[in-house]
Structure 1
Amino acid sequence: MSTVHSDPISLQDASPGEMGSAPVSWKDSYVATLQLAWPLVLTNFAQAAMIVTDVIFIGRLGAQALAASSLAVNIYHSFAFFAFGLVSAVAPMVAREKGNRAHDMRETRRIVRQGLWTAVLISIPAMFLLWHGQGFLAAIGQEPALVEEAGKYLRALLWAMPPFLGFVVLRSFISALERPGWALVMSIAAILLNALGNWLLIFGNWGFPTLGIMGSGIASAFAMLCMFLSLAAVIVIDRRFRRYHVFGRLWKADWSKLKAIWLLGLPIGAIVAFETTIFNAAAFLMGWLGEAELAAHAVAIQVVTLAFMTPLGIAQAATVRVGLAYGAGDALGVTRAGWSAFILGTSFMVLTATAMITIPTPLIGIFLDIHEPSHLPVLKLATVFLIVAAIFQLVDAAQVLAGGMLRGLHDTRVPMWYAAIGYWGIGLPLSYFLSQYTSLGGIGVWVGLASGLAAVSVLMVHRWLNRERLGLVRPLL
């Protein structure tokens, strides 16, 4: 069994935000996690709200436009979230450097620069493939009318990817420094800008062209660009970030750091992709069942996504807090940082599950006009989907939180295989079988999703429990 020995560091001598030291008590651990997590949670909500805003405006165009946007967003997310996982390796790398050498800015600067390089390098092939996404939808048998509308939306939305990934890199940087507030400010501003852009470009208000569903994609891409540029400006101006000079000599390659980001980030990207694509595949299965099923799924998945933003943000905080303790060689700090985040995240999901069961109609009404008679089939299906979704809220939280905790230990390769087994080895086949060969239909898709999430959560938590026996917690060499 591998253990870590380190001299205890008093919080009176150095705060976690400055020295990367682990909290010395459970209370301090909870406080430190909450202080870091709440801006990350709200930033996640804000970024999810950009897509939610699109859904709300597009939903006013009718069920067909809503279904088409669901197909397009699912394809976009397949690429964007894989790339998101790749570049998010910046956070645990910076956190470990800060925990190990608190005042060494050179290594941090090199990591961030190569994170931006990675954002560009992965965007180029992803955007090329997304440009041809309409052909993929046609090839898998989606309805021609939906394919045409989805293609318009996708070719506009794909331009959001480079600034989105650049923003993730910069947000990871300031989050690892435990100062994520500016990312939240920029995300909130982007929501407002995106809503305005949707209103102007979808419906042609104030003399703008009436672009329909394509206008929504353009609005999102422009808002994302503004969000990235604004955060970059803050990092250049704010003295707390300016001293790192992350944009200086940005053109200069650092092959060792670039390689390290890809080695750590590719498994993270694969984990995110496995989870994202199983939900995307679920949308395609719904598309085979019918337009009402797909529209109901689109609404239900938005509710679930919003709920997921809180444990995701807490998991991101866990990655930083665990990474700081790991870099400092503090095994006790690793334990407390991880479990405090886990308890906070799962407790929140108990509340969201209760809401999905007790008040599903108001939640659905956020995204769909529930008073429109023609939407009644969608409303009924979405209500049932939310009840099933409520059941897997806890396991969904457990898998993302345990994954974030392991990520702080730079443990990503084995969790990647866990995700592959759970999502694609269990979840997808079960969703397909239950939806296509039983009377469950769309409910079967959601039962399969729940089963896959449960399998991954058990595997992830088991690995965290055995972290010392597996040699994941040890002094840095």
Structure 2
Amino acid sequence: METRGPGWWAEARATIGLAWPLALTNVSQHAMAATHALILGWFSTEALASGTLGANLYWLMMAPALGTAFAAAPVMAQARGMGQRRGGAARGWVREMRRGARSALVATVVLLVPSLLLLWHGERVLLALGQEPALAAGAGAYLRAMMWGLIPFSGFIVLRGFLAAMDRPGPALWVTGAAVIANAPLAWLLVFGAYGWPGLGVVGAGLASALADLLMLGALLVLIARDRRLRRFRLLGRFWRIDWPRLREVFRIGLPISGQMLLEIGVFSAAALAMGWFGAAAVAAHAIALQVSALSFMVPMGIGQAATARVGIMAGRGDAAGAWRAGWVAIGLGAGFMLVMAALFVLGARPIAWAFLDAAEPQAAAVAAMAAGLLTIAGLFQLTDGVQVVAAGALRGLKDTQVPMLMAALGYWGVGMPVGLGLAVWAGVGPAGIWLGLAAGVGLVAGLLLLRWRRLSVASREGEAFAGA
């Protein structure tokens, strides 16, 4: 029995209803990172540069586990869609969602072990990559405090995917909002010190981040356990029992997502390392531009997560036209938002840059000028950045992850980084050249993913099998 999906306007309302809490959750999570950047920037330019280098290595090491955490969303969404196709009477889909969540959690923890070992030796890694000893030391200390939040944060991502598949994104938003409110004064206290508490500098920011991650996971588990509709899934019941078939599926879907994220995070991390060749001011300017552009990116990322759930549910129901419509609606919403952000970046680059700096700092004027230039370049690729993340989310709803990973490799590392380094170093453009290369790479990835979505979704509408289903 095939179930017909909603029309265009109904789909847009459903996508927006699911996307805005997810987007605000992403914005709230990034707000914590932006808060740390602001506080460290007020503490010192060197602290901001150390924190930026450490954060880039942190996200690079987290990418493998995040892929399997994100894989939980399409697995559970398609399981729910199958339950709807069967009239919801069978309890098999409840069991399938539970198996998907547990397997994603197990896979995530397994992949985090080597990441934690590398982060513990973060200073040595950064020194081997040619970073200044003082900045590497600060970043290493930051990472040793921050790394304890890796497992709680990954667990939070899996649970958020479960809530998205259930059309219940609200609890994750409430938890993240509470964490943001608690994090700002906590980070300030730990960094600067007050009321007899000694300031820990960059280490304090890392510790505040780890505590916030632990708070988010614990609070979300409590909210799920207290909800009558959600606790029936018993997501953590008999957690020690390994479901090998579902674990293999999570790795099959999740490892390419990990690869794609590693490629994307890696190219921006490599850009930060390349900025280190131009001095602390360049690293600080890169940090400001990256924080602001990443903040705007959180909204289309939320739309992409909604697209994964909406497309996955339609695919599970066997509604090819509904999946096609859900993907295109989400892509249009993401593109529209990022057009507005592009105008804001170009017109407000200098005021935005100064918001992160203390005018009394000796290097503040140089950092602000450089950051304003990078923000203007970031504005030029806002549209393509939004399109690529939403298109990737729609493809994940079809469990299509391997080819998008290869497209990311071509765009980010075949074009983006070589062009950026060529402009920055050999053409003498400097730090701006690196960001121009990133813009070129993101644009290519967006075009390729859009073509991939068009081909698969049209093929599905014409009666061919869903990719990965």
| TMscore range, shorter length | over 0.9
- The amino acid that maps onto 2:63 is F
Checking the alignment, whether the CA contact within 8 Å between 1:329 and 1:474 is kept in structure 2 is: no
Specify the alignment match of 1:391 in structure 2: 380
Question: Structure 2: how far apart are the matches of 1:55 and 1:386?
Answer: 16
Is 1:231 paired with 2:203? Answer: no
Specify the alignment match of 2:424 in structure 1: 435
Is 1:81 paired with 2:63? Answer: yes
**How far off is 1:471 after superposition?**
6.0
Q: Work out which of the residue numbers 402, 418, 430 in structure 2 matches 1:413.
A: 402
Q: Does the residue aligned with 2:126 lie in a helix, a strand or coil?
A: helix
Checking the alignment, whether the CA contact within 8 Å between 1:370 and 1:379 is kept in structure 2 is: no
- The amino acid that maps onto 2:364 is H
**How far off is 1:243 after superposition?**
1.0
Specify the alignment match of 1:474 in structure 2: 465
Q: Does the residue aligned with 1:289 lie in a helix, a strand or coil?
A: coil
- The amino acid that maps onto 1:228 is L
**How far off is 1:469 after superposition?**
6.3
Q: Provide Cα deviations, 1:18-65, integer angstroms capped at 9, x if missing partner.
A: xxxx32x10001000000000000000011111111111111111111
Following TM superposition, the consecutive aligned residue runs of length 4 or more in structure 1 with deviations greater than 6 angstroms are none
- The amino acid that maps onto 1:85 is G
Q: Does the residue aligned with 2:43 lie in a helix, a strand or coil?
A: coil
Q: Provide Cα deviations, 1:319-349, integer angstroms capped at 9, x if missing partner.
A: 1000011111111101110111011100000
Specify the alignment match of 1:369 in structure 2: 358
Question: Structure 1: how far apart are the matches of 2:258 and 2:360?
Answer: 41
**Counterpart mapping for 1:139-288 below 5 A:** 139-288=128-277
Q: Does the residue aligned with 2:138 lie in a helix, a strand or coil?
A: helix
CA distance change for structure 1 residues 314 and 192 in 2, over 3 Å: closer, same or farther? Answer: same
Specify the alignment match of 1:64 in structure 2: 46
Q: Provide Cα deviations, 1:345-371, integer angstroms capped at 9, x if missing partner.
A: 000001100001111122223322356
Specify the alignment match of 2:282 in structure 1: 293
CA distance change for structure 1 residues 337 and 418 in 2, over 3 Å: closer, same or farther? Answer: same
- The amino acid that maps onto 1:92 is P
**How far off is 1:247 after superposition?**
1.5
- The amino acid that maps onto 1:26 is W
Q: Work out which of the residue numbers 367, 372, 394 in structure 2 matches 1:378.
A: 367
Question: Structure 1: how far apart are the matches of 2:205 and 2:195?
Answer: 16
Checking the alignment, whether the CA contact within 8 Å between 2:320 and 2:460 is kept in structure 1 is: no
Question: Structure 2: how far apart are the matches of 1:374 and 1:78?
Answer: 28
With structure 1 as the length reference, what TM-score do the two structures score? 0.93
**How far off is 1:8 after superposition?**
4.5
CA distance change for structure 1 residues 171 and 285 in 2, over 3 Å: closer, same or farther? Answer: same
Specify the alignment match of 2:318 in structure 1: 329
**How far off is 1:82 after superposition?**
3.1
CA distance change for structure 1 residues 148 and 226 in 2, over 3 Å: closer, same or farther? Answer: same
Q: Work out which of the residue numbers 320, 324, 327 in structure 2 matches 1:338.
A: 327
**How far off is 1:207 after superposition?**
2.3
- The amino acid that maps onto 2:453 is W
Question: Structure 2: how far apart are the matches of 1:393 and 1:370?
Answer: 28
Checking the alignment, whether the CA contact within 8 Å between 1:91 and 1:176 is kept in structure 2 is: yes
Checking the alignment, whether the CA contact within 8 Å between 1:43 and 1:183 is kept in structure 2 is: yes
Question: Structure 1: how far apart are the matches of 2:359 and 2:166?
Answer: 45
Q: Does the residue aligned with 2:28 lie in a helix, a strand or coil?
A: helix
- Between 1:87-96 and 1:194-203, the stretch displaced more is 194-203
Checking the alignment, whether the CA contact within 8 Å between 1:76 and 1:130 is kept in structure 2 is: yes
Q: Does the residue aligned with 2:198 lie in a helix, a strand or coil?
A: coil
CA distance change for structure 1 residues 126 and 369 in 2, over 3 Å: closer, same or farther? Answer: same
Over the residues paired in the alignment, what is the CA RMSD in angstroms? 1.5
Q: Does the residue aligned with 1:400 lie in a helix, a strand or coil?
A: helix
Is 1:54 paired with 2:36? Answer: yes
**How far off is 1:470 after superposition?**
5.7
Checking the alignment, whether the CA contact within 8 Å between 1:45 and 1:306 is kept in structure 2 is: yes
**How far off is 1:407 after superposition?**
0.7
Question: Structure 2: how far apart are the matches of 1:120 and 1:373?
Answer: 44
Q: Work out which of the residue numbers 70, 85, 103 in structure 2 matches 1:114.
A: 103
Specify the alignment match of 2:14 in structure 1: 32
Q: Does the residue aligned with 1:89 lie in a helix, a strand or coil?
A: helix
- Between 1:237-246 and 1:463-472, the stretch displaced more is 463-472
Question: Structure 2: how far apart are the matches of 1:8 and 1:166?
Answer: 33
Q: Does the residue aligned with 1:336 lie in a helix, a strand or coil?
A: helix
Question: Structure 1: how far apart are the matches of 2:448 and 2:180?
Answer: 36
With structure 2 as the length reference, what TM-score do the two structures score? 0.95
Question: Structure 2: how far apart are the matches of 1:116 and 1:467?
Answer: 29
**How far off is 1:193 after superposition?**
2.0
Question: Structure 2: how far apart are the matches of 1:469 and 1:355?
Answer: 35
**How far off is 1:224 after superposition?**
0.6
**How far off is 1:257 after superposition?**
1.0
- The amino acid that maps onto 1:47 is Q
Specify the alignment match of 1:13 in structure 2: none
Question: Structure 2: how far apart are the matches of 1:467 and 1:328?
Answer: 17
Question: Structure 2: how far apart are the matches of 1:8 and 1:223?
Answer: 42
- The amino acid that maps onto 2:9 is K
The percent identity for this pair of structures is 44
Is 1:465 paired with 2:454? Answer: yes
Is 1:349 paired with 2:331? Answer: no
- Equivalent pairs counted in the alignment come to 459
**Counterpart mapping for 1:126-141 below 5 A:** 126-141=115-130
Q: Work out which of the residue numbers 289, 302, 305 in structure 1 matches 2:291.
A: 302
Mark the runs of 5 or more structure 2 residues left unpaired by the alignment.
none
Question: Structure 2: how far apart are the matches of 1:100 and 1:7?
Answer: 10
- Between 1:366-375 and 1:453-462, the stretch displaced more is 366-375
